[in-house]
Structure 1
């Protein structure tokens, strides 16, 4: 059975920093990491949008920004659902076919955008490959509950205190070593 790892934590860069370190460690083992990363766009210290980055193709686009008129919103920011789907869907389909480890960053924000995105994420979550997902820590986030319910899932809560050790703990789990 494939290991699935969830990383939860507060808003800020510590989840992204830990994920970048984990991805580097996986690559150093000669394994292929694919999937999507979500980034925040700031202007004058104000959140103004979100980017999505396809790890394989290295294509990065702003798929959500203030002022974008859309029925779909993330944190009150309009989402270009067509652009999001153009990056996310082929990225996850390719990852299921060719990656050794699949990454989906900020899964909670993405999953609530469109039915197509939701289906792609669910198909990927239920696929039999090792996977790492990050989720913003909100106690009642339904996506987090779904992830916790999957078979073989380990959820790690990242904090400023454990942030430097967490990538090593995640790697032990990915490599089949028991971690308490």
Structure 2
């Protein structure tokens, strides 16, 4: 699934998670302070564990104004290997997550596995992993008009 920033991809992932049993994975949450976005956290759907993905500041690696925390991404890459639910949600495969080679390898392994996946990808990325996901999976482009229907369709599909 893809779509412009702020369109509701994470919200859609949360609706799917709350509507189905046996779902694992993670979402990326915005962190705001005084109305301004200061960064993003990775949130494990089952355990509730949260780690900083990126935060405004100085350091390396950097995506835009955000310093990316590779150790956090690497931790979630390890968690990806252990997910065993009927559906695994990965929100998102984007420029920050792709800074981690461990994450890229874990995603490649997940794609090769028989697991059912719901993955959000950055809509403009040309990274080989994102291109592979766009090529090999059914791709929903989310907008204001279709996001609720897409959520219902995904839930129906995995409710069995």
TM-score range, shorter chain: 0.7 to 0.9
Bigger shift: 40-49 or 9-18? Answer: 40-49
Question: 2:20 aligned with 1:22, yes or no?
Answer: no
Among 66, 81, 87, which residue is 1:93 paired with? 81
Deviations 1:55-100 (A, max 9, x none): 2221012231112422x223331112113212x12320111xx211
Structure 2: gaps spanning 5 or more residues:
none
State the Cα distance separating 1:47 from its structure 2 match: 2.5
Matched-pair contact (CA < 8 Å) for 1:34–1:91: no
Among 59, 80, 92, which residue is 1:69 paired with? 59
Matched-pair contact (CA < 8 Å) for 1:148–1:155: yes
Runs of 4 or more, structure 1, over 4 Å off, are: 139-142
Deviations 1:8-46 (A, max 9, x none): 11111511111111112222xxxx111121112222333
Matched-pair contact (CA < 8 Å) for 2:94–2:125: no
2:42 matched residue in structure 1: 52
Bigger shift: 46-55 or 131-140? Answer: 131-140
Structure 1: gaps spanning 5 or more residues:
1-6
State the Cα distance separating 1:135 from its structure 2 match: 1.6
| RMSD (Å) for aligned C-alpha atoms | 2.1
State the Cα distance separating 1:142 from its structure 2 match: 4.3
With the length of structure 2 as denominator, give the TM-score of the two structures: 0.87
With the length of structure 1 as denominator, give the TM-score of the two structures: 0.78
Among 152, 156, 160, which residue is 1:168 paired with? 152
2:6 matched residue in structure 1: 12
CA 1:124 to 1:139, structure 2 compared with 1: closer, same or farther past 3 Å? closer
Number of residue pairs matched by the alignment: 160
- What SS does the corresponding residue of 1:11 show, helix, strand or coil? coil
